[in-house]
Amino acid sequence: MTKHDYKQNAYYLMYLIRCILNKKTPAKEKLDKMDLSGLFVVAKGHSLTAIAAYALESAGIYDKDFEEEKNKAIRKTIILDAERENVLAELEKACIWYMPLKGILIKDLYPQIGMRQMADNDILFDKIRAEDVRTIMQSFGFKTKNFDSGNHDIYYKSPVCNFEIHTELFGDWHQEEFYTYFSNIFQKVIKDSENGYGYHLSVEDFYIYITAHNYKHYSSGGTGLRSLVDTYVYLNHYAGKLDMKYIENECEKLGIAEYEKQTRDLSLHLLGGKKLTAGECKMFDYIIFSGTYGTIDNIVSNTIKKNNNGHFEKIKYICQRLMVPVSEKNEKYRIFASYYPWFYKSKARLPLLFFYRIGSIFTSKRSRAKAEISALRKI
C-alpha cells in the first residue's frame, strides 16, 4: 500500500469512527469508495478494528476480518475485567492501595463493549508492597515478565491477559517535569467511596495524566489514531464539566499546554466533522504514520531534533545509543541497572556491558538495529 493509499484509508477510518460515535449511519457513497482490505490494515495498525467493525455493522456490512477482531476485543475486555476484579479484591484483603489507570477507565466511556481495544490492565499501587503484589499475581497463575525494572512490573497469563502494575506514573528517566509533577500525584488522588483501598483522580487530573502519557509517546516514537479517539470520547463525555482553566494551567507547568490544545482541537474537529486547519493536517499526518505505539523512524528523528546535535548528529546519536551510564547521577543509570542487573552488581563489570550490547546488535537486537540504521539514512 502506498503512503497516499494508507493516508486515504486513515481518513475513511476516522469517518467511520465519527459516524459510530455520533450515532450516524455511514453514507453509501463513502462506503462504496472504501477498500476494506486496505482499511483493515490501517485499523489494525492503530488498534481500531473493533470500533470500525461496529461502524461497518451499522451500515449492514459484516466483514470477516473486522468481525473476528471485534469478537477478540470483546473477549479480551471480558477476561481483563474479570481478572482485574479478582486481583483488586486480593489487594483489598492485603490492605494495599491501588488506582486503575488509562484504558481501564476510558473504555467504559465508549458506547459498546470492546469498542475501545485493550492491551492490558494498568494499575498504580503501593510500591513498597511490590513483593506482596507479585505473590498475589502468581497465586492467580500469572507469570512475572518484568519485576523491579522501570516504573512498572509486568505479569502475563495465557492466552491474552496482561497486567502492568505501576510503581510510579513516570520514571526519573522520562521528561523531568513529568517525573517531578507526577511523583506528587498522591496529593491529588481521591479515595473511592465503594471500597477500602482504591483511589482515583478527578476528571481533570485524569485527563492531564492521559495527555502527558500521550505526549510522552508523541514526542518519541509517535502516538496513533486511537489516542485522538480517546481524547474525543473523553472530552465529549465530560463536555461542559471540565475545568479547562485548571487543565491549561497544569499543562503549562508540564510544558505540554500547546500539545494539549492542538490535540484537543484536532480530535474535536476531526471527529466532529469540521474542516482541519493546515497545522492540524500536518499533525494528523504525523499521527497517521505513527501507528498505535510509534515508529523507529520517529524515535530516531525526534531524538536527533531534541538533542539538536548539529552537523555530526548521526554520529552523536549512535554514540549515545551505545553509551553505558556509570554514574548514578545519569538519568539513565537506574533504568540500565534494572535491565542489566548482573553488570551493575559491580562497577568493574560495566565495561563488559558495552561489548555485550555491541554483540546484541548482531543477535537479539538485530532487527531493531537495522531499523535504526535505516531511519538514520533517511535523515
The pLDDT score that the predictor gives to residue 308 is: 64
Q: Is 173 exposed, middle or buried (0-12, 13-18, 19+ CB in 10 A)?
A: middle
The pLDDT score that the predictor gives to residue 292 is: 67
The DSSP symbol for 318 reads H
The pLDDT score that the predictor gives to residue 320 is: 75
The pLDDT score that the predictor gives to residue 375 is: 64
Q: Greatest CA separation found in the chain?
A: 68
Q: Which fold has domain 77-200?
A: Beta Polymerase; domain 2 (3.30.460)
What SS3 state is found at 340?
Answer: coil
Spatial distance between the Cα atoms of 225 and 1, rounded to a whole number of angstroms? 18
Cell of 342: 548482573
Q: Answer for the pair 158, 198: CB distance below 8 angstroms, yes or no.
A: no
Cell of 175: 521528561
Residues in CB range of 291: below 8 A, 6 or more apart: 45, 46, 222, 224
Q: Is the peptide bond before 111 cis (omega within 30 degrees of 0)?
A: no
Confidence of residue 376 (pLDDT cuts 50, 70, 90): low
CA 158, 162, 165, 170 torsion-angle sign: positive
Q: What average pLDDT does the structure give for the chain?
A: 91
Give CA angle at 116 (115, 118), nearest 5°.
125
pLDDT digits (tens, 9 = 90+) for 107-139: 999 999 999 999 999 999 999 999 999 999 999
pLDDT digits (tens, 9 = 90+) for 293-342: 666 666 667 666 766 655 567 777 677 777 888 887 777 777 787 778 88
CATH 3.30.460.40 in the chain: give the residue spans.
77-200
Q: Is 319 exposed, middle or buried (0-12, 13-18, 19+ CB in 10 A)?
A: exposed
Spatial distance between the Cα atoms of 184 and 194, rounded to a whole number of angstroms? 24
Q: What's the whole-model pTM score?
A: 0.86
Q: Which residues are bridge partners to 121 per DSSP? A: 163
Q: Count H helices, E strands: the chain?
A: 18, 7
